[in-house]
Structure 1
Amino acid sequence: MTSCLLLLCALGLAAAVPVARALNRATWPERSPVLGLWVWQCLVTTALLSCLTALVLGTAAVFRTVRDHLSGSAPPGVAAAYQLSSAPGWTTALTLLMAVGANWTVAVLVGQLRAVRRARGAARARLRERAPELPAGLPAGRGHLLVLEEEYPDAWWMPGSPSQLVVTTGALRRLTDRQLDAVLAHERGHARARHAWLLHLSAALAGGFPKVPLFTHFCEQTHRLVELAADDTAARHCGHVTTALALIELNQHRGVLSRASSRGLLDDRVNRLLTPPATLEPRQRTHIAVAAALAPLLPLLIGFAPGIDALD
């Protein structure tokens, strides 16, 4: 059991610090942002599962009732293989640390969920007060739009039930029909991939654990990669140049991206659209995706290894 705990702790620390920093420095996610988001999610899942598995083993070692409950239905020899009753003294301190971390993780996620719901309700109430009727003459075939009377050009997807695509009258006046289609395709790309929840998750973890490189890099890269992924969706439907021009038209009046993003990200997105990077080869994408998918299984394999050996 001691070796299992040490391996789980080592795996969690490796995912949280050196692996996260290496992935943050990697350039390949820009070539395949959807795959990059998948790898980040798998890495975060690996770290969280490592801590959760260590917590379960530690709790079973510290509390006899938990140990009896877990080993009650196990085949003979499985419970003895873990040697939970002879766990070293530091197991208690480690279990307490893991329990505090688990409770804090749940607290920050629940707090983020409540904050998101409050913010969405307030935003919807403001939009209902300000949005006029859909202007006559707007080209059809773009789905359900909520047009907001606003001088500045902008467009965004408001998640919820029902979800809502919002466009300002400034955007309708400034963009061509093709550029507007690119903007709407970009926002619908966010909606289909449920990027909003991924952004909320990464923000909650980064806010709850600001000193952990894995969560801070996860938050930073998520904000970047979801925009690149949505840009690719728009470019496939409307073309790279049209999407780049739409970005410029929407943001040139303030010099920064909509929704409080940085100017540097806008420059990177426009340059990437005008000079698209070479995509990863199918074999490379497959290898990366499979390796990332297998990573969360490592903590489970470590946790079940003694029991599996006892069954042989």
Structure 2
Amino acid sequence: MTALLGLLLLGLLFATAGPLLLARARWAEREPVLALLVWQCLVVAVLLCCLLSLLLALSAALPEVRTLLFHGAPRGVEAAYGLAGGEGWGRLCAVLLALGGLRTALSLTREIRAARAQRGRRQRELADRAPELPAGAGDQPARRERLVVLENVRPEAWSLPGSQSRLVVTTGALSRLTDNELAALLSHERGHVRARHHWLAQGAQALAAGFPGVGVFSAFRDQVGELVELAADDRAARRHGRVTTAHAMVEINTGRGVFNGCPGEPAPGQLAQAPRRVDRLLAGEPRLPVAARLRFTLLALAAPALVLLLAAAPGLSALR
């Protein structure tokens, strides 16, 4: 049972200490893509702890599962895990972990269905407001990504991911933004689509809903919402300049109550982050050195590797 308890304690350590350390990491805003990788590795490590703990708990509770799990293993490996005689603890751990896994699976299913339904509604709205040209009309080649222009005096732009992704911009944005600013804005939205940020957001939301009392998953959901915007900002800034991207962000949010002194309704959610994102772009802090990025990457990958090593440690020690 040592491996089972070790995995549970390691998962608890990752789930509590990990978010605290990342919350204090000042480099995250300078390297949002790297920060997303670190968060994903941390979450994967926690999930691996839960999954491997469930497997060992089932093996302790059910001899049939234990026989199947260690079928063909060298002599002494099964005994090294000390699962025999732990039926009571095994059943309790297995039930708790299985309930958590079931809640996560249900939450992920709900998120995927809700996202698909929302995309379907927005696709139908776009089709009503900006219908497709008949086949053969125009001379534009077929593309997986299409630009849709909507008649609206309010400057807006967003992306609609999917197999037929859309970049949507209003006539208000076309009249307010310069060509370079519009290109930066579309590059930002294109970054969301091509990096599949919607998949990451759905997974983070599902974990937070499946484990409402676990801080690492709620922190992961919140950080994903912020970091994907910073990553898309950086993509646009690399191609069109930081000042141009920042100015486009200011123009597109004019009148929404985002910046001080702007009339309009209060800025909810991600809109409230716009002033900080603009300041970040204008500050233009340099990226971390290559050595530092490599070090953080290796540390992030070490978290799930440590979980696997801990799970395999009793078996490896028995082979000596």
Q: What TM-score range do you get, normalising by the shorter chain?
A: over 0.9
- Correspondence 1:172 to 2:174: yes
- Correspondence 1:243 to 2:245: yes
Give the number of aligned pairs.
304
Q: Which amino acid aligns with 1:270?
A: V
- Correspondence 1:279 to 2:279: no
Once the 2 structures are TM-superposed, how far is the Cα of residue 133 of structure 1 from its aligned partner? 7.5
The question of whether the paired residues in 2 share the 8 Å contact of 1:132 and 1:147 is answered with no
Q: Which residue of 2 aligns with 1:138?
A: none
The question of whether the paired residues in 2 share the 8 Å contact of 1:133 and 1:147 is answered with no
The question of whether the paired residues in 2 share the 8 Å contact of 1:153 and 1:172 is answered with yes
The question of whether the paired residues in 2 share the 8 Å contact of 1:206 and 1:215 is answered with yes
SS of aligned partner of 2:316: helix
The question of whether the paired residues in 1 share the 8 Å contact of 2:48 and 2:304 is answered with yes
Q: Equivalences for 1:1-312 in 2 at 5 Å?
A: 2-87=1-86, 89-131=88-130, 144-256=146-258, 260-312=268-320
Residues 303 and 149 of structure 1, relative CA distance in 2, 3 Å threshold? same
Q: Which runs of 5+ in 2 are unaligned?
A: 134-142, 260-266
CA distance in 2, matches of 1:116, 1:26: 31
Once the 2 structures are TM-superposed, how far is the Cα of residue 255 of structure 1 from its aligned partner? 2.4
Q: Which runs of 5+ in 1 are unaligned?
A: 135-141
Q: Which amino acid aligns with 2:215?
A: P
**Deviations 1:210-232 (CA, angstroms, capped at 9, x unpaired):** 22110111111111111111111
Once the 2 structures are TM-superposed, how far is the Cα of residue 89 of structure 1 from its aligned partner? 3.0
Q: Which amino acid aligns with 2:95?
A: L
Q: Which amino acid aligns with 1:64?
A: P
CA distance in 1, matches of 2:298, 2:166: 35
TM-score (norm 2): 0.90
The question of whether the paired residues in 2 share the 8 Å contact of 1:7 and 1:302 is answered with yes
SS of aligned partner of 1:31: coil
Answer with 6-15 or 89-98: which moved more: 89-98
Once the 2 structures are TM-superposed, how far is the Cα of residue 209 of structure 1 from its aligned partner? 2.0
**Deviations 1:129-185 (CA, angstroms, capped at 9, x unpaired):** 012679xxxxxxx97311112221111111111111111111111111010000011
CA distance in 1, matches of 2:247, 2:71: 65
Q: Which amino acid aligns with 1:301?
A: L
The question of whether the paired residues in 2 share the 8 Å contact of 1:31 and 1:279 is answered with yes
Once the 2 structures are TM-superposed, how far is the Cα of residue 88 of structure 1 from its aligned partner? 6.4
The question of whether the paired residues in 1 share the 8 Å contact of 2:103 and 2:211 is answered with no
CA distance in 1, matches of 2:245, 2:146: 21
Once the 2 structures are TM-superposed, how far is the Cα of residue 25 of structure 1 from its aligned partner? 2.8
